[in-house]
Structure formats: structure tokens, C-alpha cells
């Protein structure tokens, strides 16, 4: 298979990434075209030690980072997500989008950025902190296991957010939300008294809208193929980086919860 055939399926995703970075369809597409022209002119610039998709993104970012004005974005639109993106410095912005929008693993993002994994992790963490500076919020944790609840609380506060309450049951969660409306909810599904975190979230969002991240050992209860399904679902045992990325993404795009079917 030729190189052009190998990279062709990945071009729509690269265009999406380029448009997010540049702030416009025209500019993003122009950079994709420039990337393809560079590869055609000199195929040796295409890395042979990684999968074609990773190589394509790596060449694109090499070209992108060679131009000094890319950190200055001008967007015709002014949606919250676009304003949030503009406020993130260039390299953390790249790492953040690779992880959260393009769905690359940390290892893949490091390969595309051509940096060690630890540096890629630091860039993503920096993006999370910069997002928190813009959209720092109050977080309600619904979790009945004390050690996990403490880990989540430390993680949330490390990112610059505030934990207003930790609830162990459906009733505690609803009461906590009534006392102090959260800007983000981290919710387990099966709670201490046998009650349901799904039911607690459903009751909350019948009164107000809030982004929700479900963190559970029972993902099959939500991944049923029926709609709606959660935008953010993390399986226990979780990786800290995964939770951080989900929090940043949920607040960055401010994806509000929809009512879930009861388990």
C-alpha cells in the first residue's frame, strides 16, 4: 500500500484537529494541504517508526510549530469552548486536543508531539490547570468508598477546583446539590445503601443542568446501546490521567448531562 493510501483515511480527523488549532476551517485546511504538499515533496520527512496516523499528525505539528504566529488565534465565533481554547498556551493546547478531542492515548500523544511521555503528561496537566483558571468550579463527588473519594477530592483540588461535598448515598447527593449547586458532578453508580448514583443525577438534572462524569466499576449499566448514554464514563479502577482529562474536557466543552435510564 502506498503512503498516500495509508494516510488518506486519517485526513478528515487531521482536518478536524487543524481547524480546532487554527480557529477556522480555511486556515486549518490550508495547513493540512501544506502538510500533504510537504510529504509529497520529501517523503523522507514522514516517520517510518510509527503508525501512519501518528506519523501524519507528527508531520503536521512539525510544520505547524515551525510557524511562529500560530499561538495567536483569531476566531470569528465566540463559543465558550473556543474562548477556552484560545486561552491555553500553544503546546499544552496541542496535547490537550490530541488527548481529549482526537482520543489518542498519552503514549500516542507523546509520539505525535515527539516528546517523552512525562513531558506529554506535563503538557496535558498544564492545559488542565489553565482551563481550571478560566472555569474553576465547585464539584460534587458521589462516591461511597472513602479511599476513592479522598483520591478524587485530592485530584480535583490539585486541578484548581473546589469540592463542596462528598456524598455516599442518593439522598445525601441530592441534599448536597440542593444546598450548593455544583458546576460538575463526579458520580459512582452503586452507592453505600444500595441506592443509585444514576437516580441521584437524574433527580438533580431535573432541576438544573450540569456536566456529569460517571466513574464506576459497572460501565455495562450505562453502555446499553440505548440513548441517552453518558458523554463521560470512566471505568474503575481508573487512571488519574484519564480522570483529569475527562474533567478538563467536560468543563472545556461544558457538556451538560441528559437524563439517564435507571439501572
Flag whether 263 is in a domain: no
Is the C-alpha dihedral spanning 32, 38, 41, 47 positive or negative?
negative
Return the CATH number at 155. 3.40.50.2300
Higher pLDDT, 108 or 65: 108
Domain assignment present for 260: no
**Domain-ending residue, one of 100, 133, 166:** 133
Q: Are 169 and 193 in contact (CB under 8 A)?
A: yes
User: Are 48 and 141 members of one domain?
Assistant: no
Shared domain for 37 and 124, answered yes or no, is yes
Of the candidates 115, 133, 151, which is a domain's last residue? 133
pLDDT mean across residues, the chain: 85
Instruction: Tell whether 63 is covered by a domain.
Output: yes
DSSP string, 141-194: EE-S-HHHHHHHHHHHHHTT-EEEEEESSHHHHHHHHHHS--SEEEE-SB-TTS
Residues sharing a CB contact under 8 Å with residue 75, sequence separation 6 or more, in sequence order: 23, 24, 82, 86
Q: Say yes or no: 40 and 123 in one domain.
A: yes
Say if residue 27's pLDDT is above 60.
Answer: yes
- Residue 225: the pLDDT is 58
Please check whether residue 258 is in contact with residue 226, taking contact to mean a CB–CB distance below 8 angstroms: no
Over range 3-7, report the average pLDDT. 91
What tens digit of pLDDT does each residue of 98-118 get?
988 788 999 999 999 999 999
Both 151 and 217 in a single domain?
Answer: yes
Whether residue 73 has pLDDT greater than 50: no
In a domain, 210, yes or no: yes
Q: Which of 127-141, 154-168, 178-192, 239-253 has the lowest mean pLDDT?
A: 239-253
Over residues 220-247, the pLDDT tens digits come to 777 665 545 566 888 898 888 888 888 8
Q: CA-CA distances (angstroms) from residue 186 to 25, 109, 141?
A: 34, 26, 5
Q: Note whether 238 and 120 are same-domain residues.
A: no
Ranges 62-76, 190-204, 235-249, most confident: 190-204
What pLDDT, on a 0 to 100 scale, did the predictor assign at position 13? 92
Q: Identify whether residues 64 and 152 lie together within a single domain.
A: no
Last residue of a domain, one of 74, 109, 133: 133
Per-residue pLDDT for 155 more than 50? yes
Residues 124 and 161 in one domain: no
pLDDT above 50: residue 74: no
pLDDT of residue 261: 55
pLDDT at 16 > cutoff 50: yes
Calculate mean pLDDT across residues 51-79: 75
Higher pLDDT, 232 or 149: 149
Q: Which residue has the higher pLDDT, 147 or 227?
A: 147
Residues 6+ apart with CB under 8 A from 29: 15, 18, 19
Global pTM reads 0.67
Domain with residue 46: its CATH number is: 1.20.140.160
Mean pLDDT, rounded, for 251-262: 59
Domain range holding 153? Answer: 137-253
- Say yes or no to pLDDT of 80 above 70: no
Cα 149 to Cα 141: distance, rounded to the nearest angstrom: 7
Does 165 score more than 70 pLDDT? yes
- The pLDDT score that the predictor gives to residue 242 is 82
Give yes or no for residue 152 having a pLDDT over 80: yes
Q: How many domains does the chain have?
A: 2
SS3 (DSSP) at 140: strand
Amino acid at each position: 500500500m502506498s503512503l498516500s493510501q495509508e494516510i488518506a483515511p486519517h485526513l478528515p480527523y487531521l482536518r478536524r484537529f487543524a481547524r480546532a488549532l487554527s480557529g477556522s476551517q480555511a486556515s486549518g485546511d490550508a495547513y493540512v494541504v501544506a502538510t500533504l504538499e510537504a510529504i509529497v515533496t520529501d517523503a523522507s520527512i514522514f516517520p517510518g517508526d510509527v503508525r501512519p496516523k501518528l506519523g501524519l499528525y507528527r508531520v503536521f505539528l512539525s510544520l505547524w510549530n515551525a510557524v511562529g504566529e500560530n499561538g495567536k488565534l483569531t476566531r470569528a465565533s465566540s463559543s465558550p469552548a473556543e474562548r477556552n481554547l484560545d486561552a491555553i498556551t500553544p503546546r499544552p493546547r496541542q496535547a490537550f486536543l490530541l488527548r481529549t478531542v482526537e482520543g489518542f492515548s498519552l503514549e500516542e500523544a507523546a509520539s505525535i508531539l515527539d516528546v517523552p511521555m512525562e513531558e506529554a503528561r506535563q503538557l496535558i496537566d498544564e492545559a488542565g490547570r489553565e482551563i481550571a483558571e478560566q472555569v474553576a468550579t465547585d464539584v460534587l463527588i458521589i462516591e461511597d468508598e472513602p479511599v476513592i473519594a479522598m483520591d478524587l477530592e485530592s485530584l480535583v483540588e490539585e486541578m484548581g477546583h473546589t469540592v463542596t461535598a462528598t456524598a455516599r448515598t442518593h439522598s445525601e447527593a441530592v441534599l448536597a446539590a440542593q444546598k450548593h449547586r455544583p458546576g460538575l458532578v463526579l458520580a459512582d453508580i452503586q452507592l453505600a445503601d444500595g441506592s443509585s448514583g444514576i437516580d441521584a443525577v437524574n433527580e438533580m438534572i431535573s432541576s438544573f443542568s450540569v456536566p456529569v462524569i460517571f466513574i464506576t466499576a459497572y460501565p455495562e449499566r450505562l453502555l446499553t446501546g440505548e440513548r441517552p448514554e453518558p458523554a463521560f464514563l470512566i471505568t474503575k479502577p481508573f487512571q488519574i490521567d484519564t480522570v483529569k482529562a475527562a474533567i478538563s474536557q467536560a468543563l472545556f466543552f461544558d457538556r451538560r448531562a441528559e437524563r439517564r435510564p435507571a439501572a
